[in-house]
Amino acid sequence: MSWTGKFLRVDLSKGTVKAEELNREWTRQYLGQRGLATKYFTEEVDPKVDPLSPANKLIFTTGPLTGTAASTGGRYSVVTKGPLTGCIACSNSGGFFGNELKNAGWDMIIVEGRSPKPVYLSVENETVEIRDASDFWGKTVWETENGLKARHQDPMLRVASIGAAGEKGVLYACIVNDLHRAAGRSGVGAVMGSKHLKAVAVRGTRGVTVKDPDRFIKAATEQKKVLADNAVTGQGLPKYGTQVLMNVINEIGAMPTRNSRDVQFEGAHKISAEAMHEPRLSDGKTNLATNGACFGCTIACGRISRMDPGHFSIASRPQYKEPSGGLEYEAAWALGSACGVDDIEACTFANFMCNEHGIDPISFGSTLAAAMELYEMGVLTKEQTGGIDLKFGSAEALVKAAELTGKGEGFGLELGQGSRRLTAKYGQPDLSMTVKGQEFPAYDPRGIQGMGLTYATSNRGACHLRSYTVASEVLGIPFKTDPLATEGKAGLVKAFQDATAAFDASGICIFTTFAWSLENLAPQLDAACEGSWTPEVLLEVGERIWTLERQFNLAAGMTAADDTLPKRLLKDAAKTGPAKGLASGLDKMLPEYYQLRGWTPDGVPTAETLKRLHLA
Amino acid sequence: MEKSLLIQPAKCTGCRQCEMACSFEKERSFNPSRSRIRVFDIHSEARFVPYTCTQCAQAWCLQACPVDAIKIDAATKAKVVNDNTCVGCKVCTIACPFGTINYVADSGKVAKCDLCGGDPACAKACPTGAITYVDAEQTGYDKMRAWAVKTDTQSHAHA
């Protein structure tokens, strides 16, 4: 019934696999996916664990709506302790892997230990085996996925795998499924690599059932219509993808550019959604070939791009002449604006590299931007970069750096440590645009103040997917707030964080929240799974998840001092645009935020708060 | 009026809502592997193609069936498998030129699209209009119309 009620425990050290019953008390308190896996993880893993040691665990997990007809209901999450941050990490992904796992009869896979040799996990309904992957070690994600389909003689196989980056400990390596969908952030792929687990290959034919089928279909159909009728989810995202934001965010002066020295990028329009739709001079084709959906998604924001076959980068990579997962806003920003690169083909090429090798384009682009600033200062020399002329704006440098980092070779290994470690190594820690060691994404907190508080308090390090206040501050969803004001943002961030955690726990995509609130989610969950799911209950589940993640981070050694932003954002005012003269007002928002959360001024949940949330 | 499923791949985003609607209609569970309509992801061409039984007039499946398990629905003209008669011999799967009738190991029978008795669940669930249920004699209408517009270059040249 919505949950399969079973999960797999895979011990790679011992080479054992066993099925266990899901703790149903925990599904009531934490729903599924991000929530449920966080509960299991925090119960089983010491917060002080070294993320890349066998004692860390890696949990693949689905939500109760995963595999159902609820729009976007195909997601899965990966929960672990992140090597980039030392915080709890939870990365989620779309595509078709999550629903396949659920269809195989499993809600979750807990991976423990470390295999003595490279292996992959094969899951065919109840037949689960740890198999040798020696001949796939060192291969790219694309080679691995296609290779496993061939080995199993099964084109329907769904594969989540890592590339060389994950094997070699690139700290922001991701886990990629369906060639270009990724559990992208915080280095979950590096943890997978440290366990010598190359891939998880799943085929499921058992089907997913819900509690009240007729009521569920009615609710899901009604809510799909809400998405279709909404301007963002019904028109904007299908046509332009998340890339619709490039020109918008640049206009309002919130586009972190050249390692956040600037808040506007003069070349933004050249790497925008509009540019992806424009026919090229060379072959008359557009960069965007089509949009594509993840499992069950009625929005279909995914970009499938076709590169210019005459572009300089493609000579050595004939496979990039075929269409593949193209630029999303965050990637276009990180590979483009952050590095000052306005060559959309080079950005697409680097994006293909990130997908093929399994690295997070946000952290990669942002780290490269920091390296470019070090290079410009003369701190990094051409000898140290292995001959790459690492100038801001250089498409050649972007292309070369992406390949080296994806393969974990040469200077790419240094870039693969992330900008905090890189800038510290060269004595310039303030040039790292990170929070808790994770690079922040494509919104400058000087132009969108709520995002400053969002980054500073995010439990997995800087991230936009933990409270997307851009929706309110820029797009006016569910109501418009002033992006340059700090007043009221503490409450806004808390509300977004808690609601987002509930959405993440349900098995669907956060992009539905442009049109849906918990009022739209609740009736679908209530019809799908046991329990009584109301917006109020879901909000409490969200707050419980958030607070549990916080408790783990505090136990791992984080303190209130880590809830901060890079000095550049706090001290250097924006030079242009609507935010000109403004720095981040984090200090005005953070104390109020702690208070609203029921935490002490030191950011620690009080006994009362823990009791209220049944966490103590 | 006889109706048929009209599939327009150019409108498909590959979301599989049709597969879920089909499996739910037939199995009461969401199970793409049991769907009678399948979406193919032609990755190298950046195309998604929904594909199912076209209810062809020759009906090789029906003709090949040694136990007469496949009958024509009088109202919809759909070729429908009778589970009580089907012996799971798979001859129909060999006879069908399109591969749209398939053996299901769990049931030991074959399964194919039966147009849901004239109200196909896949068409209702498709969010982009890539699958519609229309007059069988007009399935080419939209394609004709699109080409008519494209070939109408003379009038513009002289305008």
CB atoms A208 and B15 under 8 Å: no
CB-CB neighbors (< 8 A) of B16 in chain A: 96, 293, 295-296
B21, B29, B32: residue with CB nearest A209: B29
How does pLDDT run across B48-102, given as a tens digit for each residue?
999 999 999 999 999 999 999 999 999 999 999 999 999 999 999 999 999 999 9
pLDDT at A464: 95
The minimum CA-CA distance between B152 and chain A, rounded to whole Å, is 22
- Cβ of residue B27 closer than 8 Å to a chain A Cβ: yes
Q: How confident is the model at residue B157 (pLDDT cuts 50, 70, 90)?
A: low
Task: Please give the backbone phi and psi of residue A46, each rounded to the nearest 5 degrees, phi first.
Answer: -65, 125
pLDDT at B154: 62
Q: How confident is the model at residue A203 (pLDDT cuts 50, 70, 90)?
A: very high
Q: How far is CA A591 from CA A586, A598, B57, in A?
A: 9, 11, 73
Q: What is the mean pLDDT of chain B?
A: 94
Q: What is the spatial distance between Cα A318 and Cα A307, in angstroms, rounded to a whole number?
A: 11
**What is the pTM assigned to this prediction?**
0.97
CB-CB neighbors (< 8 A) of A179 in chain B: 43
Task: Please give the backbone phi and psi of residue A497, each rounded to the nearest 5 degrees, phi first.
Answer: -60, -45
Residue pair B83/B109 in contact by the 8 Å Cβ criterion:
yes
Residue of A nearest to B104 (CA): A205
Mean pLDDT of the region A191-197: 98
Count Cβ atoms within 10 A of the Cβ of residue B21 and give its class: 0-12 exposed, 13-18 middle, 19 or more buried: buried
CB-CB neighbors (< 8 A) of A324 in chain B: 43
CB atoms A207 and B127 under 8 Å: no
Residues contacting A225, CB < 8 A, separation 6+ = none
A209, A289, A300: residue with CB nearest B13: A300
Q: Percent of chain A at pLDDT above 90?
A: 99
Mean pLDDT of the region A275-301: 96
CB atoms A298 and B28 under 8 Å: no
Q: What is the mean pLDDT of chain A?
A: 97
The secondary structure element, H or E, covering residue A469 is: none
CB atoms A99 and B46 under 8 Å: no
Per-residue pLDDT for B158 more than 90?
no
Q: How confident is the model at residue B1 (pLDDT cuts 50, 70, 90)?
A: confident
pLDDT at B159: 45
- Cβ of residue B17 closer than 8 Å to a chain A Cβ: yes
pLDDT at A1: 73
CB atoms B31 and A238 under 8 Å: no
Q: Of A274-283, A558-567, B143-152, where does mean pLDDT reach its minimum?
A: B143-152
Residue of A nearest to B23 (CA): A207
Q: Which residue, among A613, A455, A463, A468, has the nearest Cα to A548 in the 3D structure?
A: A613
- When scoring B8, B12, B17 by the number of chain A Cβ atoms within 10 A, the one with the most, hence best to mutate, is B17
**How many of the other CB atoms lie within 10 Å of CB of A383?**
7
CB-CB neighbors (< 8 A) of A289 in chain B: 46
CB-CB neighbors (< 8 A) of A204 in chain B: 33
ipTM of this complex:
0.95
